[in-house]
Amino acid sequence: MLDILRSIKRKVLTEGFAETVYLFLKEIEKEDRVFKHPDNEFLVNLNFDLELGFGTTFWEGNIAKSLSYGKTSRKNLIPFLRYFSEEKIPANIQIAGALLDPEASNLSIFNDEQRKAMFEHRDLFKLTDDDIELLKIPSIETGLHGFSHRHFTNISDTDAEYEIKSGVTKFQKHFQRNPEFMAFPKNCVAHTDIIQKYGIKSWRADSQHPNGELEVPLGHWFSPGVLGREDLKHALKTIKEKKKGFLLQLWGHFTEMDARTFRELVGVIKESGWKLTTIKDFKKY
């Protein structure tokens, strides 16, 4: 009975969508600012932030929760990468630079408790050489997710410069090239003049209608809890009916679902007639 009532309420208030999807579709109906969606093309960018144990709850004192996110991410990472590689799936993955730095636990920003956790769970705070080799899949554009996952809106110019410089340096060392796409930790976009100085050419915006042309509209959180199979199908169909063309960024982590569920949702995207792209291929930088 409760389920029926809930489903009636959902139909009346949000036209059958989960609320976040409904609000998202309402928002993108508004006029765009500077971002140019493609004409006659419907593109999805699958986009992942990779921080393993460097989650935001970690900094706020909930170390156990952060470790648990880290473990889920660690468990899902390789099956996702194998899938990307075998099926040549285009996607973006942004790495927190500290995962590439074996000395990161010595940073002064960590307290004793955090250092202890990092020491005891080393595999949740660094990428192995095998991980890094797998991340070099040709269909994937790897980029940067800051260095130590600090929120750029809360830090000074000097700290922002430190974060981006350290991140870019570690990235170059392991990937032999410059990262060009960035996702700000927690989507807290700030200090964009500084990141451009270090070669970042585009980043995920914090809204659907960014002011600057280097930003990619936020899109939707890719979590089956808020964007399940039916909602995804329905949303893709609705966008196609309302727009001439569209780039939809679906972003998340390796914690929201396992590779099997992800594979099914990618199937929904393809069946709906949408193509997959990296940001680099879309923006041609």
Which residue has tokens 């199979």?
229
From 47-55, 105-113, 168-176, 229-237, give the range in contact with Zn ion by CB under 5 A.
Answer: 47-55
Of 30-38, 45-53, 136-144, 164-172, the segment contacting Zn ion by CB under 5 A is 45-53
Binding mask 157-196 for Zn ion (x = CB under 5 A): ----------------------------x-----------
* Residue 231 binds to Zn ion (criterion: CB under 5 A): no
Question: Which of 261, 206, 217 lies closest to 239, judged by CA?
Answer: 217
What does the block give as tokens for 52?
A: 């393993």
> Which one, 49 or 163, has the nearer CB to Zn ion?
49
CA 26 from centre of chain? 22
Cα-based angle 278, 257, 48 (whole degrees, multiple of 5) = 25
Question: Please, which residues have CB within 8 angstroms of residue 64's CB and are 6 or more apart in sequence?
Answer: none
Q: Considering the complex, state which of residue 174 and residue 253 has its C-beta at the smaller distance from Zn ion.
A: 253
Quick one: which H or E segment has residue 215? strand 215-216
Question: Which residue type occupies 52?
Answer: L
Nearest approach in angstroms of CB 42 to Zn ion is 27
Closest approach of Cβ 146 to Zn ion, in Å?
8
Confirm if 134 and 78 have CB atoms less than 8 A apart: yes
In the complex, the smallest distance separating the C-beta of residue 284 from Zn ion, rounded to whole angstroms, is 27
Q: Please, which residues have CB within 8 angstroms of residue 16's CB and are 6 or more apart in sequence?
A: 10, 234
- Contact call for residue 49 and Zn ion (CB under 5 A): yes
Does residue number 215 form part of the binding site for Zn ion (CB under 5 A)?
no
**By CB under 5 A, is residue 141 in contact with Zn ion?**
no
Nearest residue relative to Zn ion (C-beta): 49
Question: Binding to Zn ion by residue 51, rule CB under 5 A?
Answer: yes
In the complex, what is the shortest distance from the CB of residue 106 to Zn ion, in angstroms, rounded to a whole number? 21
- Measured CA to CA, the distance from residue 64 to residue 75 in angstroms comes to 17
The contact set with Zn ion (CB under 5 A) reads 49, 51, 185
